[in-house]
Structure 1
Amino acid sequence: MSVWLPSAPCSPAACVERRAPTVAVPLAVLRLTVLAVLLLGGITLLPLGGRVPAGAVRWWCRVMLRAAGVRLRFSGAATPAGGVLLVANHISWMDIPLLAAVRPARMLAKTEIRQWPVAGPLTARAGVLFIERDRLRALPDTVARIAGALRAGGAVTAFPEGSTWCGRAQGTFRRAVFQAAIDAGAPVQPVRIHYRHSDGTASTAPAFVGEDSLLTSLWRVATARDLVAEVEVRDAIPPHSRPDRRSLARAAELSAGLGVREERHLTSRPQPAMIRASRR
């Protein structure tokens, strides 16, 4: 199995809640319309890449998520200046603007996106670092390019689980990307993403897993009522504070709260189908 391409057992049928409170259809359509306008505006600025002020990027990401009906809560440590590797758990397409709202950074993306019409050339010009996930031989070059971006003082965002999970279950942090931080002598900053209902219980409505389509996920988010996205920024792990990438990945995983599976959510709200899937 590729170090970039692990699989997750989560699927829409097994994991995504079906009886969550929803808003009226006209409001959901309005949310998607405003979101589409904001996305088109953002796409036109992609070729400018790093020349767009960081404050403007953070503002745009927050406005976009609010337009989708998502309330935002940010807490935790400040992000250090200079090169830093931001690592987070991965649940939804919304994770990307959430992390950009913390600190704009170069994203890691699968190399297939480079071939997409319109989106491919635009993301390439925006500074995305592409990963050939099914070619182990490409790993050293990918790690070197990430390390180079960190040495140059840039921030790089990665989702080391390598796949999206539903939010009540999660994967483990793969080690490869952490080698880049070691090589560059850059700190690693773990980030924990939660999606919740207004009453504090976990929500899987934003999950983008398995055979889910982007349109289905967008509609689920747009129709969700009182959806809250929480971003907890943990203290940065200093460079060379761990002897190797294995221990660095484990330290980041524990710091992000992923060292122990969230069984409390599984037991407080039984999901038999999801539990069966997670044991495959």
Structure 2
Amino acid sequence: MKQVICIHWGTKYGPRYINRLYGMVARNITPPFRFVCFCDDPAGIREEVETRPLPQIDYEIPKTKTGIWPKSRLWGPRLADMSGPVLFLDLDLVITGSLDPFFDYGDPEDVILSRNPSNPLERLGQTSVFRFPVGKLEPLQAKFRVDPLGVAETYRYEQRFVTRNAPGGVKLFPRGWVIHFRRDCRRTTPLNYFLPPKLPAQARIVIFPGHLTPEDAIAGRYGPKRAESAGGHLRLLFDGSRRKGGPITHLRHFIRPAPWVAEHWRE
């Protein structure tokens, strides 16, 4: 039984993202499988998704500018009635290929993260997509519980905390399975004004760290409140009050619509 999990709290994404994630998983996995969403409100979530309450914790989630520390709820000794390896997926990613290899790779007892391309000089994993046996990360939760804010300020991102402290160390999924939309798909300037973002052939999952979302990629805008046409974007180059960053940065921050994102990101 392949087990896929996600977590949702608050109102940033809502059931629409959960339902689309389930649809993508179901189209790209060989049954049997379970899809479990740990959430604070199951309203609006499609019936095929098993919803469970957020795992209880006895510490306060630190409020920081960086890092998604509510994910630490998943590090406890139990996750509902689940046991063995689970594959965690962020809500705002796009699945473009088979997920089966993510369950076959390595040993069932391994903690395996996707690769983080943001820090090439640091062996750093990315927890947008990662697999772990239920309960194995309990020592991380115990360490985090002692001083949540101190840990968050020291490591900045929970993926760095997991990478450096997971019992037995971590492995990384093969390069190219999980790709970064901004770094691996968008075109370099000036091609970004003429060609849509590309989808590398080996990609199975596309992640969207930062401010870009699948909806932005479909619309062809570089984040909320950005111009959706090349002409509109170029006109802002001469408006310092509305332009974000310097001229070179502004020229880079444009994308054309990516039809392949719409093709995959659906229920």
**TM above 0.5, one fold?**
no
Larger radius of gyration: 2
| Higher helix proportion | 1
Output the TM-score relative to the length of structure 1.
0.29
